[in-house]
Amino acid sequence: MGNRRIVKPYLETLRNTARENASCGSWLSDGPTMLCRVESPEFIRVTAHTGTVRPINASAISKTLAAYADPDFIREWIAARPLRAYTANTIVDEAALFEEYRKIREQGYCVSDAEFSDDSIGIGAPVRGKNGQVWAAISVGAPKFRMPEEKLREYIKLVMETAAQVSEL
């Protein structure tokens, strides 16, 4: 609860700049869970609810969190919960998913493009604690029709900046 209260003003600033949903999630016992969310002021927006657990292969927050988790833990997670395709873009091959996680770590952000829903796109970036460990992820989610390439590049920068600011708290 305390983390939500601390993070919410940063999400509100991100939402106000991007005019899209801004969220923060963390890995809880049930999996990657959306802890805090502020809705886009736009009439058409991607819906989701706090407390929602998202799959580790089809969400900007979840893929970001899984990318920085212990690989053996993720392999055990997948063994207990086989990967499911939500769209044609969902990665369901374990080796390909681990390659995606490597790419996320290398670039410092995640793009989930039509992986959970054909009509949505999300951008995620890791939030680190004082020890450098990733404890949360910040994301922006939007309908695909409002995310052309130039806006995507701008929002990647915004999400990474917001995650870095929250990491400094």
Residue 20 has pLDDT above 90, yes or no: yes
- The tokens describing 151, both together, are 């806006």
Q: Measured between alpha carbons, how far is 27 from 25 in angstroms, rounded to an integer? A: 7
Q: pLDDT tens digit string along 63-106? A: 999 999 999 999 999 999 999 999 999 999 999 999 999 999 99
Asked if residues 63 and 56 have their Cβ atoms less than 8 Å apart, the reply is: yes
How much is the pLDDT for 2?
57
Backbone phi, psi, residue 61, to 5°: -65, -50
- The tokens describing 80, both together, are 């207990």
pTM: 0.94
Q: Measured between alpha carbons, how far is 153 from 64 in angstroms, rounded to an integer? A: 17
For range 129-141, the mean pLDDT: 96
Residue 108 has pLDDT above 60, yes or no: yes
Asked if residues 67 and 104 have their Cβ atoms less than 8 Å apart, the reply is: yes
